[in-house]
């Protein structure tokens, strides 16, 4: 899901998430942050709710929420959630994955 939204041919991505998948933020939610040269993707999941995927396209400046074009309010919410992750998570609890598409060597 997050990887599919990031990849284009011959690209790489960086993903930041909790090392322990059962760990949550103080509000009980979980967030996965990912970025590539072309996009920033943030996935937010609250308990007992469907997850929300935010995709920010760097070139156009557009944001998409669950594959529908969003607005400035959605951009602000994406920024708020990214800040929330960084403020509430201990660095030692997070893991950063560097992933390359199959086309890269």
Among 49, 1, 46, CA closest to 27 = 46
Give the separation between CA 52 and CA 65, rounded to whole angstroms.
7
pLDDT tens-digit readout, 30-74:
999 999 999 999 999 999 999 999 999 999 999 999 999 999 999
Closest to 74 (Cα-Cα) out of 50, 24, 40, 32: 40
pLDDT-based confidence at residue 5 (cuts at 50, 70, 90): low
pLDDT computed for residue 17 by the predictor:
93
**Arithmetic mean of pLDDT over the chain:** 88
Specify the pTM. Answer: 0.83
Q: What percent of the chain has pLDDT over 70?
A: 86
């Amino acid at each position: 899901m997050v990887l599919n939204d990031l990849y284009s041919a011959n690209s790489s991505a960086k993903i930041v998430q909790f090392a322990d998948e059962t760990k949550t933020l103080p509000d009980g939610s979980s967030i996965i942050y990912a970025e590539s040269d072309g996009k920033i993707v943030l996935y937010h999941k609250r308990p007992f709710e469907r997850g929300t995927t935010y995709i920010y396209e760097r070139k156009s400046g557009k944001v998409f929420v669950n594959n529908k074009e969003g607005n400035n309010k959605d951009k602000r919410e994406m920024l708020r959630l990214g800040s929330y992750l960084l403020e509430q998570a201990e660095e030692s609890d997070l893991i950063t994955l560097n992933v390359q598409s199959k086309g890269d060597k």
